[in-house]
Structure formats: C-alpha cells, structure tokens
Amino acid sequence: MIHVQNLTKVFKSHKKEPGIRGSITSLFKRTYTEYIAADSISFDIQEGELVGMLGSNGAGKTTTLKMLSGLLHPTNGHAEVMGYVPWKRDNEFRRNFSLVMGQRSQLWWDLPAADSYLLNKEMYSIASSDYTSRLKYLSETLGIADKLTVQVRKLSLGERMKCELIGALLHYPKVVYLDEPTIGLDIVAQHSLREFIADFNKKNATTIILTSHYMDDIKALCKRVLLIDQGKLIYDGELSGLTESFSAAKMLHITFEQYVEYQQLEKLGTIIEHKDDFAIIKVAKQDLSACASYIFTNFQVRDITIEDIPVDEIIRMIFSGKTEI
C-alpha cells in the first residue's frame, strides 16, 4: 500500500547577519544553510497495517508524512501510495487518503463541525445515505453526537480533536496519516481516541501511520514501529524488538530475606533503586548469569525477576544521543 525508497528532503534557508549591515549585505550576497529533514528513508507498509512512527522533535516524522501526502516534493527518492506518486496529486489519490495533524485544524472555527462535514460530503462526492450512516456511526462511537451543531471554537480540545478525526474519516480513506492526534488531550480523551482508532483500523482494514510523543499511544496501537532520528530511519520492526536492538542490559528486581547494604550490591551493576530488602539493578546481558549466581551464593533471596529495559527508557536514551544502553 505504501512504498518508500531513499526518500530525501533537504530544506534551504537564507542566513542573514543581524542589523542593518547584515540586511544590506544580504541584498547583494546571500548565504544559505541546508538542513536535511529526511535522509534516504526506505520502508514498505502493507494494506491494513497500523504502524507507529517515533522520533524526537525535528527528527523528520512530519516531513515524511507531508511528502507521502503530496504536500512536499522530495529532493531525492521515490514513493508510491496506493500505486500513486503522492506529489503528482492525482484526484483519485487525494480522494483516498487523509492527514490529521494534532496541531492543525481543518474545520471552520466559527461554524459547527456539521457544516464543515457537509462541505466534505460534496468535495468527496459521498452519497447522502453513506454520509448519514457514517456520520452517525463516527459521532456516536466517539461520543460527540450532541456536539456537532456547536461552534468549533466553543468545543474543548478533546471534543475538537474528535471532530477533526470524523472530518478526516467521513470519506472512508484507504490510507490515514495521524500526526500527534492525542497531543494536549487528557487521559480519558486519549484512551477514547486510541480505542476508536484501533476499532476503525480493524473493521475497515485502513492503512494507518501514527506519530506520537506519547508511548502509551504506540504501545496500545502499534506492533510495528519506524524509529527516525535526525532524518534517518534507524529501526524498522516490532516494538518489542527495540529491546534486543538497542539494549545491552537487563533489569534485576530482587527481594532479599533481610536488609542488604548498598555497598554490597554496587559491584553487580548499576543500582537503580535500593530500599531495605529490595533492589533493582541494571546488569549487562553478558554478566547476567555470573551476577545471578553470585546473588544466590552470597545472599538469602526471597524473590528475583529479570526484565527488559522499559521501551520508554530505551527510546529516551536513543533520542538523547546514546545508541545502546
């Protein structure tokens, strides 16, 4: 459904020195700075997949989605969505995808959402019977059927985001890009949107790319993730596989029969937590067997569990510049 090969986008910006002198100089001699927002990104997504795209601010996530939407023309590379080249903007392509951006609105601010939906109905040539049934299903499932006649500017952030989602899905697109759809929402609204997205994907086999800074969104919805860092795709695989690819350690959760001093545990690894008879220690994978043997030989242990480094922690460390923890 989506094929991306060596997709690259380079932005060029004018660099001007401050002050009048800089302004005058820039009239006759301009210098430019190039910024690589997407650097030879390649991946394939099958029909019906719901894939998470992770990356820090400025990593290139939104730029990639804009190229796949046809809003930006790439500097190099090739992409096909539903068999169409996005930036050629074929009408049939535009009728079958949607882009939802958590920080951008497609609804008319001073009008009720229902009025914007009528405009979408005409733009996408939705039959009246389909329009009525779809709007009823979407609004009732998201729990905002009574808010469709209220001016958009009077809605809460959560209600407005749900209305945005309805507007993007009324024509039942085959491909949907969700860029930070839960940004700024409270826990209840986030949970509601996640349930709806999962249900819509399952029932309609819609191909979805989801970007989010909330790991709970990714964990709840996506088995597969694309990890982008500084414009480069550094990981493409199952979310659980991040642990094997980027973590060289395990976490030991140990409950002792009696109090054990901090100093007695220091040589085993990095102590994450220590309190009375309990400790959490980060241990290198290659030292795990020897460490467990030492613990059972020298201490009375009530319980011990071995866990992977949390995915949230792994991603945080990657974005902070570390490639392995």
216-236 tens-digit pLDDT: 888 888 989 998 888 899 889
Q: Which fold has domain 248-308?
A: Alpha-Beta Plaits (3.30.70)
- Whether 206 and 33 have beta carbons less than 8 Å apart is answered as no
**Boundaries of every domain in the chain:** 2-240, 248-308
* CATH of the structural domain 2-240, one choice from 3.40.50.150, 3.40.640.10, 3.40.50.300, 3.30.830.10: 3.40.50.300
Strand partners, 12: 34
What sign results for the dihedral spanned by CA atoms 178, 180, 186, 190?
Answer: positive
pLDDT at 317: 76
- Whether 111 and 101 have beta carbons less than 8 Å apart is answered as no
- Whether 268 and 291 have beta carbons less than 8 Å apart is answered as yes
pLDDT at 44: 96
pLDDT for residue 310 is more than 80:
no
pLDDT for residue 40 is more than 90:
yes
What is the mean predicted confidence (pLDDT) over 111-135?
92
Sheet architecture: strand order including 31-45: 31-45, 2-15, 76-81
- Whether 59 and 85 have beta carbons less than 8 Å apart is answered as no
pLDDT at 321: 65
pLDDT for residue 134 is more than 80:
yes
Report d(CA 51, CA 294) in Å as an integer.
Answer: 42
pTM metric for this prediction: 0.78
- DSSP labels for 249-300? EEEEEEEESS---HHHHGGGSEEEEEETTEEEEEEEGGGHHHHHHHHHHHS-
148-204 pLDDT, tens digit per residue, is 999 989 988 888 888 988 999 999 999 999 988 887 777 888 888 888 899 999 999
Written as six digits, the tokens of 179 are 């860029």
Q: Going by DSSP bridges, is the β-strand pair 278-284/249-256 parallel, antiparallel, or unpaired?
A: antiparallel
243-300 pLDDT, tens digit per residue, is 777 777 888 899 998 888 888 888 888 888 898 889 998 888 888 888 888 888 888 9
CA distances from 206 to 24, 262, 273 (A): 53, 53, 44
Strand partners, 15: 31
Polymer length in residues for the chain:
325
Instruction: For residue 82, give the 3-state DSSP assignment.
Output: coil
**CB environment 256-284: b (16+ within 10 A), e (fewer):** beeebeeeebeebbeeeebeebebbbbbe
pLDDT for residue 241 is more than 90:
no
